[in-house]
Amino acid sequence: MNHRMEYRRELRSYLVGFGLAIALSAIAFACVAWDGWTRATDLWVIAVTAIVQMIVHLRYFLHIDLSKSKRDDLQLILFSLLVIVLMVGGTIWILENQRDRMM
């Protein structure tokens, strides 16, 4: 019986995560389709929903939370994110610098 309860709890977690991911995607798409806000507001709404959706994916699908046993996984993901941001940011910085020098 314990195995069945654990299965139901995990399935419910996946369904909640899936529902949240669909809702956040729908909010971003609706924001783009609706012309009621300025472009800056649209970009902020999309950025916020993207960040929340990353958190939803980490929590509900990858099962990464702030518990002591999962902190190593979270630190690894954050370090990988830092390396990617540094690489992308450095590449954009170098390319912009080269573009400015050619003009």
DSSP string, 84-99: HHHHHHHHHHHHHHHH
Q: pTM value?
A: 0.73
Give the span between the Cα atoms of 86 and 90, in whole angstroms. Answer: 6
Q: Assess whether pLDDT exceeds 80 at residue 25.
A: yes
Residue 1 predicted with pLDDT over 70: no
Helices and strands (DSSP H and E) totals, the chain: 3, 0
pLDDT tens for 27-66 read 999 999 988 889 999 999 999 999 999 999 989 998 887 7
pLDDT beyond 80 at 69: no
Q: Are 56 and 16 in contact (CB under 8 A)?
A: no
